[in-house]
A and B are shown apart, each in its own frame.
Chain A
Amino acid sequence: MKQFRYGLTLVIFLALPPARDLLESVMAFHMHMQMMLLFVAGLLMAPFFQKHFGHIFGKYNETGLPGVVLFLIILLYWMLPRAMDEALELWYVELWKFISLPFLAGVPLRDSWKKISRTFEVVLFLVLMVIFAVLAYLYIFAESTLCNNYLMIDQQTVGWGFAFLVLCIIMYILLVLFTDQSQYFGDDSESA
């Protein structure tokens, strides 16, 4: 329950006008901090929903695949340059951002995470890596501004942010592949 409270507090904090203004004033903050934190808030709130609406998750997210698909769809939507512009200009898109990222991306992913296999986890990371690599390329080398509300330099910063994420994912995958996780986390990681 503690986690739920932290998650909810985080969403409310992010929704406060000063926090919103600050985080939306710079494109990199907007994409790599605000959206990321909203997603994290969803992760934190997941156990609460699993406890109270466990039967729904049990029924509709049995193998974890639907949750992952939902997460990827929401992720892809928010990677559209226009989605970010519209969040700044249309209030209902902004509201949609505060609902979709925590509740339709964070919550289902955490519910799925326990259910999917180790291999699927790595595949998912690889998929994310490809998506982020494409975006890094797009934002760094785009010759015109993709978001009307931000400058070129902001856009390139976001691109490098994506490149950094790709690097992190690569390092994580290498770490998982070449170290024996069971030495650190007991038997819950070494099932395959």
Chain B
Amino acid sequence: MKKDFVISGVILFLGGLLLFFSTNGFTAFTMEAQRLQDLKDRPPEFPNIEVVDNKGRKYDFDEFEGKHMLMTFIYTSCATACPEMSSNMKYVYDMIDPALYEDDLVFLSVSFDTERDTVEVLDRYAGYFEADGGSWRMLRVPDEDDLEDILDMYGVTVIPEGDADYQHNTSFYLIEPDGRLGEVLDYREVGQAVETIEAAVAEDAEVSAR
């Protein structure tokens, strides 16, 4: 009887170790959480891709190097999460001190539906949210490998659903000026997103002022 308690204890202990190590110390219960942890630890690297914005301008992604980026991944024919996410992004956009957009911050909505989201479509979509194409740009990534690269880099999963829809991560991705993933923010928590963004930009300004 007593022996059985000891054995049960040992099994519990070993089982606890198994659960501890397989969840990275009880911090990552989903693979997604683990991936975000890994992404944050990754050395900085800037996406080396070519993009086209909603004004039809074509440039390399390093255009944004040195700025904080608030990025979302969307497709314009999405009827569920994307419009909500984009209108929340607009709230955030409007709430942030406009001075920051000069050289510290840029908002990017990246479409992963390259086929349907042409420059015209993106520009129309940008119009709905009053994205000016300067401090808030809607981007398409013409090259398929490039698109794969950036999705992979920030850990965005896109799974086709039915014929015309996608299931995808809906978060605000705050990217550091060196291209590293800074924070993944809940798009529903607008106030918190504003705070986090402003804090990140302010912290960097302090560092560079020193």
Interchain CB contact under 8 A, A69 and B12: yes
List A residues at the B interface (Cβ < 8 Å).
Answer: 60-63, 65-66, 69-70, 73-74, 76-77, 80-83, 85-86, 89, 144-148, 151-152
Q: In the bound complex, how far is the Cα of B5 from the Cα of A43, in angstroms?
A: 23
A103 to B8, CA, bound (A): 17
Most chain-B CB neighbours within 10 Å: which of A74, A82, A89, A148?
A: A82
Give the total number of A-B pairs whose CB atoms are below 8 A apart: 73
Residues of A within 8 A of B5 (CB): 65
Q: Which of B27-83 contact A (CB under 8 A)?
A: 28-35
Q: How many residues of B contact A (CB 8 A)?
A: 28
Tell me which of B17-25, B97-105, B122-130 binds A.
Answer: B17-25
A89: B residues at CB distance < 8 A: 31
Interface pair B22/A80, CB less than 8 Å apart: yes
Decide if B19 touches A77 in the complex (CB within 8 Å).
Answer: yes
Choose among A66, A77, A148 the residue that contacts B22 (Cβ–Cβ < 8 A).
Answer: A77
Q: Which of B4, B12, B159 contacts A151 (CB 8 A)?
A: B159
Within 8 Å by CB of A76, from B4, B7, B19, B159, lies B19
A157 → B minimal CB distance (Å): 14
A-B contact pairs, 25 of them (CB 8 A): A62-B1, A62-B4, A63-B4, A65-B4, A65-B8, A66-B7, A70-B15, A73-B12, A73-B18, A80-B19, A80-B23, A82-B28, A82-B29, A82-B30, A82-B34, A83-B22, A85-B30, A144-B170, A145-B32, A146-B30, A147-B31, A148-B31, A148-B32, A151-B159, A151-B167
At the interface, yes or no: B95 with Cβ under 8 Å from chain A?
A: no
Query: CA A57 – CA B33 in complex, angstroms?
Result: 39
Query: In the bound complex, do residue A81 and residue B4 qualify as a contact, i.e. CB atoms below 8 Å apart?
Result: no
Closest to B1 in A: A63
If over half of B's interface residues share one DSSP class (helix, strand or loop), that class is named, otherwise mixed; here it is helix
Chain B residues whose C-beta falls within 8 Å of the C-beta of A65 in the assembled complex: 4-5, 8
Known: A63-B4, A65-B8. 19 other contacts (CB 8 A): A60-B7, A65-B4, A65-B5, A66-B4, A70-B15, A73-B12, A73-B18, A76-B19, A77-B19, A80-B19, A81-B30, A82-B34, A85-B31, A86-B22, A86-B31, A89-B31, A147-B30, A147-B31, A148-B35
Contact B3 A62 (CB under 8 A): yes
Q: Which residue of A lies closest to B159 (CB)?
A: A151
Chain A neighbourhood of B29, CB < 8 A: 80-82
Using Cβ atoms and an 8 Å threshold, which residues of chain A touch B145? Answer: none
> Min CB distance, B72 to chain A, in Å?
15
Docked CA distance A73–B18 (Å): 9
Assess A82 versus B23: contact at CB under 8 Å? Given A62-B4, A73-B18, A151-B167: yes
B19 touches A148 (CB 8 A): no
B157 within 8 A of A: yes
| A152 close to B3 (CB less than 8 A) | no
A86–B34 Cα gap in the complex (Å)? 11
Contacts of A61 in B (CB 8 A): 4, 7
Would you list the 4 A-B pairs with minimal beta carbon distance, nearest first?
A73-B15, A85-B31, A66-B7, A82-B31
CB–CB A77/B18 < 8 A: yes
Which B residues touch A146, using CB under 8 A? 30, 32
Set of chain A residues within 8 Å of B1, measured between Cβ atoms? 62-63
Q: In angstroms, how far is the closest chain A Cβ from the Cβ of B75?
A: 16
* CB < 8 Å neighbour of B167 from A63, A69, A70, A152: A152
Most buried by B among A62, A66, A80: A66
Q: How far is it, in angstroms, between the C-alpha of A83 and the C-alpha of B22 when the chains are bound? A: 8
